[in-house]
């Protein structure tokens, strides 16, 4: 060591969590995660399109622009089709995050795998509540007043379109 130079201290990090995450991420695991993301994402967005159409006559593009407005605020509604593409990409990203989260928590839990129906009901409900009471209020989406029936309808949609497909597909891993 040369006089006057600072002493370099090697840093070590506890990589236990990171290692366990990477060990889970085998090719088989990624296939299950991607399949669950695609199935749940498609079912959820189609249910959202149908819900908006039956509730207000709204078109799919408005649903996708609403999702994009979480980042781009109201200008997403005035914009072109690029905001719809961004909304669809964000939708699948959010679905992917929920799938990975579930996978990391429960992929090795045989009891939860056996009870996939109950787990799907609970997880779908938690997804809906998290989106409505955490994500949406923190985003730039237009605010809407709390109404019980639309929330109840959203819970049912999330159970059927996301919770059950995620738990059903990942139980086989």
- The string of pLDDT tens digits covering residues 57-106 is 999 999 999 999 999 999 999 977 799 999 999 999 999 999 999 999 99
**28: pLDDT confidence band, cut at 50, 70 and 90?**
confident
Residue 20 pLDDT exceeds 70: no
Yes or no: say if 173 and 103 are a contact pair by the CB < 8 Å rule: yes
**What mean pLDDT is predicted for residues 34-41?**
98
| Largest Cα–Cα separation, the chain | 77
The alpha carbon of 102 is separated from its chain's Cα centroid by a whole number of angstroms, namely 10
* CB-CB contact of 122 with 99 (8 Å): no
> What integer best gives the mean pLDDT of the chain?
89
Cα-to-chain-centroid distance, residue 87:
13
CB 20 within 8 A of CB 158: no
Predicted confidence band of residue 16 (pLDDT cuts 50, 70, 90): low
Contact indicator for 158, 127 with CB cutoff of 8 Å: yes
Domain boundaries, the chain: 29-170
Written as six digits, the tokens of 45 are 């967005």
Report pLDDT for 81.
Answer: 75
| Residue whose structure tokens are 């997880």 | 123
Q: Which of 15-19, 43-47, 165-169 has the lowest mean pLDDT?
A: 15-19
CA 67 to chain centroid, in Å, comes to 12
Helices (H) and strands (E) in the chain, counts: 10, 0
Give percent above pLDDT 70 in the chain.
Answer: 86
What does the block give as tokens for 142?
A: 């237009």
Q: Identify which of 20-24, 26-30, 39-43 has the greatest average pLDDT.
A: 39-43
Does the pLDDT value for residue 14 go beyond 80? no
Statement: residue 140 has pLDDT above 70: yes
């Amino acid at each position: 060591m040369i006089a006057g130079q600072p002493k370099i201290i090697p840093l070590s990090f506890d990589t236990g969590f990171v290692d366990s995450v990477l060990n889970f991420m085998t090719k088989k695991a990624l296939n299950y995660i991607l399949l669950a993301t695609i199935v749940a994402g498609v079912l959820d967005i189609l249910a959202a399109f149908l819900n908006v159409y039956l509730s207000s006559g709204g078109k799919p593009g408005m649903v996708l622009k609403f999702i994009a407005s979480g980042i781009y605020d109201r200008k997403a509604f005035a914009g072109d089709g690029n905001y719809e593409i961004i909304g669809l990409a964000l939708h699948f990203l959010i679905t992917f995050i929920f799938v990975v989260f579930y996978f990391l928590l429960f992929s090795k839990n045989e009891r939860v795998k056996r009870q996939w129906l109950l787990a799907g009901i609970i997880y779908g409900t938690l997804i809906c509540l998290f989106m409505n009471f955490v994500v949406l209020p923190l985003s730039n989406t237009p605010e809407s007043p709390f109404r019980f029936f639309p929330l109840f309808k959203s819970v049912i949609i999330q159970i059927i379109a996301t919770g059950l497909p995620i738990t059903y597909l990942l139980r086989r891993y």
